[in-house]
Chains A and B, each alone.
Chain A
C-alpha cells in the first residue's frame, strides 16, 4: 500500500478512537466508532485476495449493524431523558447499548464474526483489530457501566470466557486461537466492569501488553498453524523460550503478570458476594490455559524432527527489537509491581 494512503488510514484510525475517548455527546462518540470501522476496512483488504475481502465484508456488516443499534439506542435515550450526555445514561435502553457495544467488541453470544475476520486478515491488522479496536467501545462501556444491570454484564462475561475457552480448544490456526483468546479475556474485563472499573482497566492494560507480545511474536515467526510452529525453535531460540512463558502469562499463571488481573478480579468478585461466578470464571480460564499450553508445547516444549542443516538457521534478523522486547519483559515480570499498576488506574 502506498505510504500516503497508509498514513491517512492509520491517522483516521487514531482519530476515530480519540474522538470517542474525548466525546461526551453520543453522536460524536458514534461518529468516532464509524470512522474507526471505515478506516480499518482498507487496511484489511491490503492484500487483494478473496479471504481478506470476505473478512472485511463480514467485519463491516457486523460493525455497521452494531453502530446502527448504538445510534438507535442513543437517540432513544435522547428522546427519553432529553439530553445527549454519555455519563447520564439512565434509560431502559442501556441494555441495548451494552449489547451493541458487545457486538462491536466481540463478546459472546455475539462473537461469531471475530474468528473468521481474524483468520482472513494479516497478522498485523489482526493486532490492530484485537487491541486498538477494543479501546473505543470499552471507553463507552466504562462510562455507562454504573447504569447497566450487573447481571447482564456478569452473564455476558461468563459466556464469553466459557465460549472463548471451548471454542479455542478445537482450533489449529493461530489467528483463530488468538481470536478466541481475545473473546475470553474480554469476558474477564466486562465481568468486573460494574463493580470496579479500575480493575477492568488494569485487566485491559495487561491484556493489551500480552496480546501485543504474542502477535508480534507470531508475526516474526510467520507460522499460521500450530504444526508450523514446531520448527521455530531453531529460528530463534530466545523467542521460543520466552514466548512459551508469554503464553503461560496469557493463561494467567503466577508468577507471570497475566495472573495479576485474574487474581484481583476474583478477589473483588468474592468481596461482592459473587463467589460462584468467580469460581466459574476461574474454571473456564482452565480451558483457555489448555490451548495456550498446547501452543507453548509445539513452540518450545518439543523439538520437531528435522534435518541437521535446518537447525542452523541463523539469518533471522529482527530489525526493530525494542517493541517486542519491551512488551515481552512487561508480560513476564510485572506481577511484583501490582500496587503500582493499580494505582495507575
Chain B
C-alpha cells in the first residue's frame, strides 16, 4: 500500500523540508518576534531534518531520484530559466546531513550566544545561510546555483563580521568576500561560456550537449570558483581569518557546509571535467598542494580554532585530490563524513573556549580532560575520525581516496604530498589533544568551567554518534559509480594507516621534548615559515593592492595625464612660450648700437641671400 504512494510521499516530504526552513523567515518578516525565537528556529530545523530523512531513506532503499520544475521564471527564448530542484544522490544525502549538523549547531548556539542581545538576528542569519545552501545543493540549473552561491557568500560575510566592532573581524569578513569574489569570476566565466555555447543553463541539458566537446574553458572557470569558495591554495587565506566569527558560524559555515560548496559544484558538474585531462591534473596538483601547505601551517598554530580551520582546509584539499582522480563520489563521501567530525570538533572547541572565559590559545589550556570529560572525549573521537582511524567515519572516505591515489597512474608528486599531509594530520591532531586535554593545567585558576548543560552535551553527543557510524552507513548503502581498484599490494593498502601512525609516534616524541631544552637557541626557520602561514597573506595582501595602484599611478596619472595630455599640451606649450618670449625681449637692452648693428647685419645677410638664390 505504501509502495505505490512512494513517489508522492517522496516529493511531498522534500517540498515540506524546504517549506519548513523558509517558514521562520517569512514569519519574522510578518509579525513580532516570538518569545523564544532561537528555540523555534532550532525546532524548525529539527523537523526539517526528520522530514528529509524519509526521502533519503527511500532513496537508499529504492534509488528513487527526482527532478522537479516548480515555476517558469524567465523566458528569453531560446533560454528558459525555471525554478527547478534536483533531488538526486548528492543533494538528498547532503541535505539530510546538513540539516542534522545544523540542528546540532543551532542547539549549541542557543548556549553559546545566550548572552548576546542580537541572538534572534544571529539565528535568522544562520537560517538564511542554510536556505541558501539548500538552494545551491538542490539547484537544477546554473542560475539557481549561482543564487545559492552568492547567498552563502554574503551570509558568510555577515556572520564572520558578527562582532563588527572588532577590526580584525571586519578585515576577515572583507577577505572572505574578496577571495570569494575572485572565485566567482570563474563561475561567471563558466556560466557565460555555457550560456553562449549551449543556449541553456539546465544541468541535464548541459551534460548531454557537452558530451564530446572541448570544455576546458568552463571547467577551468569552475575550478577557479571552487578555489575561491573552498579555499584552495592561492585563494586560501580567508578561511583561517574567518575564525573571527563566533564558533557556531565556524562550525556551520567554515567546516561543514559553505566551504564544501566549491567541491560540491565540481562534483555536481563533474561530466565537464571527466574527459579533460588538463583540468583534472590541475585539480589534482592544486588539491595536493593545498592539503600539504595547510597541514604544514597547522603544525605551529597556537589558536585552537585556527588549527581546526587549517585542518578543514587540508581536508578540502583532499577532496579536491579526489576530484582530480576522477572520483567525485569519493569526494562526496568525504564531504559527508567530514561534516560530522569537523562540526563536532568546532563545537567542542567552542565549549572549551566559553568554559575558559573566552581563552583560545592552547598554550593556556591543559588538563581539560579531567574537568570537562564529555567535551574532551568527543574531541578525541573527532580527532581520531579525522586521522582516519579504522572503522570510524573518516576512515571510509579518507582511506578510499588514498587507496585510489595509490593505485592510479597519475602524479606521484601529488601522491607524496597527500601522504605527508596525512601524517601531518596526525601530528596536529595530537598537538591539539596534548595541549588541550592532556598533561598539566595552564589555565587561569578561576575559570567558569561548566559543561553540564544539555544544550552543549546533546549536540556534541549527536555529532559523536554521527562521527562513529555515518561512514559505515553511507559506505554500505551507496553504490559506487566508477569501479574501484580493489586489489593492491599490502604496503599500498596500509599506506594511510602506517603514515598516520608514523606521524603520531613522531608527534609523541616531540611532545615529550616540550619540557627539555636541547639547544640554547632553537632554529626557528621552519617554525616561522609555518607559523606565519608561509608569509602568504602578508605578501599577497600588500602586493595585490600595491601593484594596481602603482600601475595606475605610473600609467594613468604620470604617463597619460601628466605627461601626454598636460606636458604635450597646455603646460608644455606654456613653458615653451615663456622661454621664447624671454629670449626675444632680452634682446631689447636699450643699446642703440646693438639695434643698429643687428639691423645692418640683417640687411647684409638678406641682401646677399636674395642675390645669390
Q: Which residues of chain A are within 8 angstroms of B610 by Cβ–Cβ distance?
A: 95, 149, 152
Q: Please, how many angstroms separate the alpha-carbon atoms of A163 and B588 in the complex?
A: 12
Q: When each residue 563-605 of chain B gets 1 if its CB lies under 8 Å from chain A and 0 otherwise, what string results?
A: 0000000000000011011111101101010111011001100
Give the docked Cα–Cα distance between A166 and B585 (Å).
Answer: 8
Query: Given B581, B590, B607, B611, which contacts A166 in the complex, CB threshold below 8 Å?
Result: B581
A113 close to B (CB within 8 Å): yes
* B526 in the interface (beta carbon within 8 A): no
Quick one: given A96-B603, A99-B603, are A170 and B582 in contact (CB under 8 Å)? yes
* Contact yes or no, A95 B585, CB < 8 A: no
> Is A92's CB within 8 Å of the partner chain B?
yes
Q: Is B606 an interface residue (CB 8 A)?
A: yes
Cβ A112 vs Cβ B577 within 8 A: no
Q: Give residues in B with beta carbon < 8 Å to A.
A: 577-578, 580-585, 587-588, 590, 592, 594-596, 598-599, 602-603, 606-607, 610-611
Give bound CA distance, A153 to B355, whole Å: 102
Residues facing B in A30-77 (CB within 8 A) are: 57-58, 61-62, 65, 69
A169 at the interface (CB under 8 A from B): yes
Can you give 17 A-B contacts (C-beta < 8 A)?
Answer: A57-B592, A61-B596, A62-B595, A62-B596, A62-B599, A65-B599, A99-B602, A99-B606, A103-B599, A109-B602, A110-B598, A112-B588, A112-B598, A112-B599, A149-B610, A152-B610, A163-B584
- Is A112 a contact of B594 with CB atoms below 8 Å? yes
Is B588 within 8 A of A69, CB to CB? no
Nearest Cβ on chain A to B202's Cβ, whole angstroms: 66
| Interface 1/0 per residue, A162-200 and B, CB below 8 Å | 010011011100000000000000000000000000000
A251 at the interface (CB under 8 A from B): no
Residue contact B584 to A58, C-beta cutoff 8 Å: no
Q: Chain B residues near A62 (CB, 8 Å)?
A: 592, 595-596, 599
A294 vs B585: C-alpha distance in the bound complex, in angstroms?
18
Contacts A99-B602, A170-B584 known; list 8 others, CB within 8 Å: A58-B595, A99-B603, A110-B602, A115-B588, A166-B577, A166-B584, A167-B584, A171-B585
- From A95, which residue of chain B is reached at the shortest CB distance? B610
Measured in the bound complex, the distance between the Cα atoms of B591 and A58 in whole Å is 9
Query: Does A89 touch B at the CB level, under 8 Å?
Result: no
Chain B contacts for A116, CB-based, 8 A: 588, 590
Q: Which of A104-157 contact B (CB under 8 A)?
A: 109-110, 112-113, 115-116, 149, 152
- Provide the residues of chain A in CB contact with B595, threshold 8 Å: 58, 62, 112-113
How far, in angstroms, from A92 to B148 measured CA to CA in the complex?
96
Residue numbers in B under 8 Å from A57 (CB-CB): 592
User: A281 vs B583: C-alpha distance in the bound complex, in angstroms?
Assistant: 20
Closest to A171 in B: B585
Q: How far is the CB of A118 from chain B (nearest CB, A)?
A: 11
Do the beta carbons of B607 and A99 come within 8 Å of each other? Answer: yes
Q: Does A231 contact B (CB under 8 A)?
A: no
The answer for the CA separation of A121 and B486 in the assembled complex, in Å, is 116
B2: min CB distance to chain A, Å = 96
| Chain A contacts for B590, CB-based, 8 A | 116
> 6 nearest interchain CB pairs?
A112-B595, A169-B581, A170-B585, A170-B581, A95-B610, A166-B581
| Chain B CB within 8 A of A287 CB | yes
CA A116 – CA B602 in complex, angstroms? 20
Closest Cβ of chain A: how far from B361's Cβ, in Å? 69
Chain B contacts of A166 at CB under 8 A? Answer: 577, 580-581, 583-585
In chain A, what residue has the closest Cβ to B603? A99
For the complex, give the distance between the alpha carbons of A152 and B599 in Å.
15
B589 to chain A, nearest CB (A): 9
Could you say which of B587, B599, B602 has the most chain A C-beta atoms within 10 Å of its C-beta?
B599
Q: How far is the CA of A10 from the CA of B501 in the complex (A)?
A: 124
- Contact (Cβ within 8 A) A92 B611: yes
A207-225 interface with B by 8 A CB criterion: none
**Nearest chain B CB to A69's CB is how many angstroms away?**
7
For B598, list chain A residues within 8 Å (CB).
Answer: 109-110, 112
Which residues of the partner chain A approach B606 to less than 8 Å between Cβ atoms? Answer: 95, 99, 152
CB pair B603–A69 under 8 Å, yes or no, is yes
CB-CB under 8 A from A152, the residues of chain B are 606, 610
User: How far does the alpha carbon of A125 sit from the alpha carbon of B598 in the complex, in Å?
Assistant: 26
Contacts of A92 in B (CB 8 A): 611
A95-B577 Cα distance, complex, nearest whole Å: 32
Distance A62 CA – B582 CA, assembled complex (angstroms): 24
Asked if B585 and A167 sit within 8 Å, CB to CB, the answer is: yes
CA distance A69 to B602 in the complex (A): 13
Assembly CA distance A92 to B486 (angstroms)? 114
Q: Which of B585, B592, B602 contacts A58 (CB 8 A)?
A: B592
A167 and B582 alpha carbons, distance in the complex (Å):
8
**What residue in chain B is nearest A99 (Cβ atoms)?**
B603
Instruction: Collect the chain B residues with CB atoms within 8 Å of residue A170's CB.
Output: 581-582, 584-585
When distances are taken between beta carbons in the complex, the residues of chain B under 8 Å from A287 are 577
With a 10 A CB-CB cut-off, give which of B584, B594, B596, B602 has the most chain A CB atoms.
B584
Q: Which residues of A contact B588 (CB under 8 A)?
A: 112, 115-116, 167
How far is A109 from B583 in the complex, measured between Cα atoms in Å?
14
Per the bound structure, the CA–CA distance linking A287 and B603 in Å amounts to 27
Q: Which residues of A contact B602 (CB under 8 A)?
A: 99, 109-110
CB-CB under 8 A from B584, the residues of chain A are 163, 166-167, 170
Pair B607/A96 contact, Cβ less than 8 Å: yes
B590: nearest residue on chain A (CB-CB)? A116
Chain A nearest CB, measured from B518 CB (Å): 83
B300 to chain A, nearest CB (A): 71
Across-interface contacts of A95 in B (CB, < 8 A): 606-607, 610-611
Q: What residues of chain B lie closer than 8 Å to A58, measured between beta carbons?
A: 592, 595
Q: From B586, which residue of chain A is reached at the shortest CB distance?
A: A170
User: In the complex, which residues of chain A have a beta carbon less than 8 angstroms from the beta carbon of B607?
Assistant: 95-96, 99
